[in-house]
Amino acid sequence: MSTDQLSVTFAALADPTRRAILAHLAQGEASVTELAQPFAMSLPAISKHLKVLERAGLVTRSREAQWRPCRLAAEPLKDVDHWLTQYRQFWEQSLDRLDDYLQELQAEEKKKGRKHKT
């Protein structure tokens, strides 16, 4: 795996379990066992997923007695969002083209309408 920040972030996001964990954390802090609960997967597996998320900077952890509560950290997602901006025109553009097309259709309809009226 590449080690640049964006690659590490994308790699971390390329797993449904990890994305589900992030979604859970979006609701607020949670312990490892809590996070593991929805999955048919051993605790060490979840622990590894968390480590991946942590290395990507998407999760931070504190210590509280024997628990290691996890929190969402959104900065890398912000970076992804920023990276996306250079491509946004490509789907907005096609919407614009669809818009153009629809407007053209409407214009056509108007013409026909006029024709029918005359």
Partner DNA sequence: CAGTTAATTAACTATTAGGTTAAACGTACT
Partner DNA sequence: AGTACGTTTAACCTAATAGTTAATTAACTG
Sites of contact with its own copies (CB under 8 A)? 1-2, 4, 6-11, 13-16, 19, 22-23, 26, 72, 74-75, 77-78, 80-81, 83-84, 86-88, 90-91, 94
| Window of 9-17, 75-83, 86-94, 103-111 that interacts with DNA by CB under 7 A | 9-17
Which listed option, DNA, its own copies, none, makes contact with residue 51 (CB within 5 to 8 Å by class)? DNA
Sign of CA dihedral 99, 81, 15, 46: negative
Residue 29, CA distances (Å) to 32, 34, 66, 98, 110 in order: 10, 10, 15, 43, 57
User: What DSSP letter does each residue of 34-83 carry, written as one string?
Assistant: HHHTTSSS-HHHHHHHHHHHHHTTSEEE--BTTB--EEE--HHHHHHHHH
| Window of 65-73, 74-82, 83-91, 110-118 that interacts with DNA by CB under 7 A | 65-73
- Sole binder of DNA in the list 5, 23, 38, 48 (CB under 7 A): 48
Would you tell me which residues interact with DNA (CB under 7 A)?
1, 11, 14-15, 17, 31-34, 40-52, 61, 63, 65-69
